[in-house]
Amino acid sequence: MLRRRMNDRISNMNDTTKSVYTSLGIVFSVGAICLGLKVRERTDIGGIQATTRVAGSSRMLASRSNDVNVPAADYFYELSQKLKEQYVEPVADDQKLATGAIRGMIASLGDPDSTFMDKDQFKAFLNARTGKYEGIGADLVLSTENHTTAPKTPGQPSAGEISPEEALVLVREIPRVQVVNVVPGGPADKAGVQVGDTVDSIDGHWVVQSDLIRKFRIASKKFNEKKMSRADLEALRTEIRIKFERAIFPMKAKDKLFMGKAGDVNVVWNRNGTMRKTKITKGVSSLSGFTVKNDTVMLPFQEGSAAQLKSAIQGKSSVTIDLRHNTLGDIQSMKQCLEVIAPKGEYGYFVTNRHDTPTPLNVLKGNSNPPKIHVLTDKSTRGMAEAFALALDSKGLIPHDKFLLGGDRTNRQIVQLPDGSGYTLVTSEYQAKLAKSTKSMTARKGGVK
Amino acid sequence: MNKGGRLLSFGGIVFGCFLFGFAWPDLQHGKLPNAHTVNALFGVRSGAAASPEQQFSHAYSKILTDYIQAVDPTNLKYAGMEGLMSSLGDPHTIFMPPRAAEAFNDETKANFGGIGARLGADALGAKISNVFDDSPAQTAGIRAGNIVTAVDGKSVTGKEIDDIVTMIKGKEGTLVRLTVIQNDKQRPVVLTVKRARIIAPTVDSKYIAASQVGYMSILSFSEPTAEQFDKELAKLEAHPLKGLVIDLRDNPGGLLDSAVDMLSRFFESKLVVKMKFRDGHEESAQTMPGFIHDFKYPIAVLMNEDSASAAEIFSGCLHDYGRAKLVGTHSYGKASVQNVFPLIDQSSAKITIAKYFLPFTPFFGRKVDQDGVFLSGGLEPDVKAELDPKSIIDPENPKTDNQLWQAIQVLNPTPSESTKH
């Protein structure tokens, strides 16, 4: 209607039409500016809507108003500027500031599986993902499992009941450095290190553990109830002080074992409460990668695995997939392998703790004539390998015997920064069947520093 | 102008407006969009690396949208800022989110009332390490060695000592109920204490008769410290003295003027400290004439990693001018001046704006790694002595404190002791 009326008037230009054009022009121009801003915002932050940027230089400073939400990017800019203007030494390296900020954000998650890694750490991590290890030749995680009780069955997180006794001694959980995979034939393997071992000390440096602090709290309570002598309490206190004098934090301890191609480390391992002393010479070691032996396929989830799997099962009526020593698998590769070997269908979900819709793990085309599948798993079957095994199991594609798994079904994004450092971010967790309430999912535990 | 031309120019203006809008965030900062941004507009994954600011924004958004559980955007932003500022490796250049900034203000203003006692960490809560004379705590019957297990009925077992102190402090004139375990009583007692303005004594002394050594402990450098020092020194000098131990362990520093006043007892009109600013200008402090005191005996200064700032200036100058031997472990390494810049949302940025230098010691500023672990810095002791974990700090009984014992040996070497090792 309006449009037609305007067309009518075009042929008959007068002042009214001119002002209509002018106002239209203004509307379009303003619209274009807004669109430009919007598009810019999306390009800046990778397609994610965020608060509009408002603050200009120096507006952030010297104001007295309350409750102002300064967008993060402006905050970053302003603080960087402030440092450059004021800091006692010249600050030239913006990259260092950005890396530091990202490191700070990741650390604030307090999640042992979402970690920031500097250049060397990240390089070692990426190499391990392709099966090339250095250090002692083992995968280590920071585990917050309660090591004093029996290990829980994978997939069965314990109910979060806390007794008053426990509440008293509840110390902020400091994760333990735990072995989750040992490279066969590597230095750790030769030294007899096993999956499940935790690190007690490295080269005489005690790795900080919350158990000891907890033990002290319990002792203090006993002392208070006159069930323990002052001398015993003092002795325990002295022991703790001595240990803390030469302590290292779990992250550092992990690096000491995971990185380096030469040199000896003296490690004391804790295996179910028994201490084992070892001397390990660091060096390079590697996992065998994709291999076929008889009807058994060693299947790491990395680039190219799906194609190799496809040709390996060609014309075979049965196949055994070895998922041992498989901890750092790639989700894309895992999905492709599932596509190769499993028929079309829904194979469980990737869920989050955010009350959003679970993402189904779908096999779109699939293999309409799949071979009989057996899997070999143990505690070093983790991450995407564990999800793969559980996915096959959810459709009854593998014999439903008890099979051992590592107990980690998290999916992690891996991000590399331009300076070579990088980080992992846990984005979801695999579940074969949707739990009624997402609350039953393992809550991410904090305490890493 | 024909119709097509008009349309074209109109389109041109609109496109120009779009570009202006697109470039606005950069124009605000006085620059043009970089290659990466422009390429991203056309959907090109450019070879040019994302700018640091973009990397940060990207990570920030990624964590908010992709992390397995919801994260509070404000806390995440503050965590990022903390990381940004700590990336310089200077433990004193820090970001303070609103809550921490508030605490810092309280601390510097110090207009809070207390009970007049010093507290130390204890497994059951907080242990009273010292009760000031005529303080509300003393009036209420609290004694050194008592253990506070609850404040206003709330258990403090397992809480951090700083948090307990915050609970005990409050407005002057108000009451606080402390549940206290006293050595001579079977059950904990509840004592009500009226908070008051506390001027903490900063100097304490003890004559160690067995070694004929004076022991002086300086807890911090505040306004009355120099005067208190004179008073305590006079007390000690009433005895025969073979030496003086000045204990600066755990002394966090305080006022530079106070340290200068104290040093004026040792030497006249000499350089104490030189401050160098970013722009190259310098400021310095010197001791004053007319306050000199004749120390007729050797002096040893005890220090540890918690001796900082003014305490380091004091001990460093005594060392540099050859007036004292330093005993203990390396000091903290606070050799810089900070300025606090308040930000719009009540948080603030504390930034090191100058460094200071002792007369002869090279720069001793503390360096830490990204986790805050000590790398280097601090004053090195002349005689190294790590505190034995079994030590009990008690000047009445100097042998139970191996660092103090070491300092006494430095002053008063007796043949039997010096040949021991």
Q: How far apart are the first and last CA of chain B?
A: 104
Q: Which one is predicted more confidently, B188 or A198? A: A198
Distance from CA of A373 to the nearest CA of B (A): 32
- Partnered with residue A179 across adjacent β-strands are A140
- Given a contact cutoff of 8 angstroms between Cβ atoms, the answer to whether A54 and A74 are in contact is yes
pLDDT for the residue numbered A282: 96
Mean pLDDT of chain A: 81
- In this complex, do A425 and B63 lie within 8 Å of one another by their Cβ atoms? yes
Residue B305 covered by a domain: yes
DSSP class of B114? B
Distance from CA of A309 to the nearest CA of B (A): 31
Task: Evaluate if residue B308 carries a pLDDT over 70.
Answer: yes
pLDDT for the residue numbered A438: 44
Which positions in chain B touch A410 (Cβ < 8 Å)?
Answer: 68
pLDDT for the residue numbered B14: 74
**What's the rounded Cα separation, in Å, for the pair A44 and B286?**
54
**What's the rounded Cα separation, in Å, for the pair B204 and B127?**
19
What is the rounded average pLDDT of the residues A336-357? Answer: 92
pLDDT for the residue numbered B345: 84
Write the CB contacts of A232 (distance below 8 Å, at least 6 apart in sequence): A219, A223
Residues B172, B210, single domain; the answer is no
Residues B255, B380, single domain; the answer is yes
Task: Evaluate if residue A41 carries a pLDDT over 60.
Answer: no
Residues B188, B207, single domain; the answer is no
pLDDT for the residue numbered B48: 54
- Given a contact cutoff of 8 angstroms between Cβ atoms, the answer to whether A233 and A220 are in contact is yes
Domain count, chain B: 3
One-letter amino acid for residue A290 of the chain: F
pLDDT tens column, A71-114: 899 899 999 999 999 999 999 888 999 999 999 999 999 888 99
Q: Which one is predicted more confidently, A286 or B393? A: A286
Tokens 């800046």 sit on residue: A44
Residues B233, B367, single domain; the answer is yes
Three-class DSSP category at A33? helix
| pLDDT band (50, 70, 90) for residue A51 | very low
Residue B92 covered by a domain: no
Q: Domain containing B240: what range?
A: 203-418
ipTM computed for the complex: 0.77
The mean-pLDDT minimum among A111-120, A201-210, A438-447, B252-261 falls in: A438-447
Strands (E), B90-238: 94-96, 117-122, 125-131, 147-151, 154-155, 175-181, 189-194, 203-208, 213-218
- Given a contact cutoff of 8 angstroms between Cβ atoms, the answer to whether B364 and B289 are in contact is no
pLDDT for the residue numbered A243: 79
- In this complex, do B52 and A28 lie within 8 Å of one another by their Cβ atoms? no
Residues B349, B211, single domain; the answer is yes
Residue B351 covered by a domain: yes
Count the neighbouring beta carbons within 10 Å of the beta carbon of residue B12: 10
Helix/strand/coil percentages in chain A, nearest 5: 35, 20, 40
Residue B28 covered by a domain: no
- In this complex, do B81 and A75 lie within 8 Å of one another by their Cβ atoms? yes
Which positions in chain A touch B77 (Cβ < 8 Å)?
Answer: 72, 75
What is the rounded average pLDDT of the residues A326-332? Answer: 95
Task: Evaluate if residue B107 carries a pLDDT over 60.
Answer: no
What is the rounded average pLDDT of the residues A403-422? Answer: 93
Domains and their CATH numbers in chain A: 136-152+172-286 (2.30.42.10), 291-440 (3.90.226.10)
- Given a contact cutoff of 8 angstroms between Cβ atoms, the answer to whether B19 and B13 are in contact is no
Radius of gyration of chain A (CA): 29
- In this complex, do B59 and A423 lie within 8 Å of one another by their Cβ atoms? yes
- Given a contact cutoff of 8 angstroms between Cβ atoms, the answer to whether A214 and A282 are in contact is no
Residues B276, B373, single domain; the answer is yes
**What's the rounded Cα separation, in Å, for the pair A431 and B1?**
67
Residue B292 covered by a domain: yes
| pLDDT band (50, 70, 90) for residue B234 | very high
Query: Helix H segments across B42-133?
Result: 52-66, 73-86, 98-109
pLDDT for the residue numbered B29: 59
| pLDDT band (50, 70, 90) for residue A208 | confident
Task: Evaluate if residue B360 carries a pLDDT over 50.
Answer: yes
Write the CB contacts of A104 (distance below 8 Å, at least 6 apart in sequence): B79, B80, B81, B82, B83, B84, B86
- In this complex, do A108 and B79 lie within 8 Å of one another by their Cβ atoms? yes
One-letter-per-residue 3-state SS of B230-299: HHHHHHHHCCCCCEEEEECCCCCCECHHHHHHHHCCCCCCCEEEEEEECCCCEEEEECCCCCCCCCCCCE
What is the rounded average pLDDT of the residues A368-392? Answer: 94
CA nearest to B89 within chain A = A100
Q: Please return the burial class of B60, using the count of CB atoms within 10 Å of its CB with bins 0-12, 13-18 and 19+.
A: buried
pLDDT for the residue numbered B286: 95
Task: Evaluate if residue B56 carries a pLDDT over 90.
Answer: yes
- Given a contact cutoff of 8 angstroms between Cβ atoms, the answer to whether B272 and B287 are in contact is yes
Given B10, B67, B87, which is nearest A25 (Cβ)? B10
The mean-pLDDT minimum among A105-109, A240-244, B45-49, B325-329 falls in: B45-49
What is the rounded average pLDDT of the residues A129-135? Answer: 95
Residues B180, B260, single domain; the answer is no
- Given a contact cutoff of 8 angstroms between Cβ atoms, the answer to whether A410 and A429 are in contact is yes
- Return the number of CB contacts < 8 Å for A and B: 277
The mean-pLDDT minimum among A29-33, B8-12, B152-156, B412-416 falls in: B412-416
Residue B65 covered by a domain: yes
pLDDT tens column, B73-83: 999 999 999 99
Residue B232 covered by a domain: yes
- Partnered with residue A139 across adjacent β-strands are A181
pLDDT tens column, A143-202: 876 544 333 333 333 334 444 444 444 555 678 899 999 999 999 999 999 999 999 999
Residue B3 covered by a domain: no
- Domain harbouring B243, CATH code: 3.90.226.10
| pLDDT band (50, 70, 90) for residue A444 | low
Best mutation target among B10, B68, B155 (most A Cβ atoms within 10 Å) is B68
| pLDDT band (50, 70, 90) for residue B11 | confident
- Domain harbouring B166, CATH code: 2.30.42.10
- In this complex, do B84 and A427 lie within 8 Å of one another by their Cβ atoms? no
* The pairing of beta strand A264-271 with beta strand A198-202: antiparallel
Which positions in chain A touch B2 (Cβ < 8 Å)?
Answer: none
Asked which of B194, B228, B257 is the last residue of a domain, the reply is B194
Asked which of B162, B194, B226 is the last residue of a domain, the reply is B194
pLDDT for the residue numbered B261: 95
- Residue A315 has, within 13 A of its CA and on its CB side, a CA count of 1
Distance from CA of B300 to the nearest CA of A (A): 25
The mean-pLDDT minimum among A174-183, B21-30, B175-184, B246-255 falls in: B21-30
- Partnered with residue A177 across adjacent β-strands are A142
One-letter amino acid for residue A153 of the chain: T
Distance from CA of B185 to the nearest CA of A (A): 13
What are the φ/ψ torsions at residue A161 (nearest 5 degrees)? Answer: -75, 135
> Which range, A173-187, A234-248, B47-61, is most confident?
A173-187
Mean pLDDT of chain B: 85
**What's the rounded Cα separation, in Å, for the pair A59 and A78?**
9
Residues B231, B324, single domain; the answer is yes
- In this complex, do A415 and B62 lie within 8 Å of one another by their Cβ atoms? yes
What are the φ/ψ torsions at residue B83 (nearest 5 degrees)? Answer: -65, -40
What is the rounded average pLDDT of the residues B237-261? Answer: 93
Residues B152, B57, single domain; the answer is no
- In this complex, do A76 and B21 lie within 8 Å of one another by their Cβ atoms? no
> Which range, A3-17, B33-47, B337-351, is most confident?
B337-351
**What's the rounded Cα separation, in Å, for the pair B174 and B183?**
27
pLDDT for the residue numbered A446: 38
Burial B174-202 (b: 16+ CB within 10 A, else e): eebebbbbbeeeeebeebebebbebeebb
What is the rounded average pLDDT of the residues B334-357? Answer: 89
- In this complex, do A36 and B19 lie within 8 Å of one another by their Cβ atoms? yes
Q: Which one is predicted more confidently, B389 or A88? A: A88
Greatest CA separation for chain B: 112
**What's the rounded Cα separation, in Å, for the pair A55 and A71?**
8
Residues B188, B270, single domain; the answer is no
**What's the rounded Cα separation, in Å, for the pair A51 and A72?**
9
- % pLDDT > 70, chain A: 80
Three-class DSSP category at B119? strand
Given B49, B77, B389, which is nearest A245 (Cβ)? B389
What is the rounded average pLDDT of the residues B176-197? Answer: 86
Residues B288, B343, single domain; the answer is yes
pLDDT tens column, B156-168: 887 878 788 888 9
- Given a contact cutoff of 8 angstroms between Cβ atoms, the answer to whether B324 and B299 are in contact is yes
Residues B372, B409, single domain; the answer is yes
pLDDT for the residue numbered A55: 36
- Given a contact cutoff of 8 angstroms between Cβ atoms, the answer to whether A185 and A138 are in contact is no
DSSP class of A49? -
Going by C-alpha positions, the residue among A139, A257, A124 that lies closest to residue A195 is: A139
Task: Evaluate if residue A252 carries a pLDDT over 80.
Answer: yes
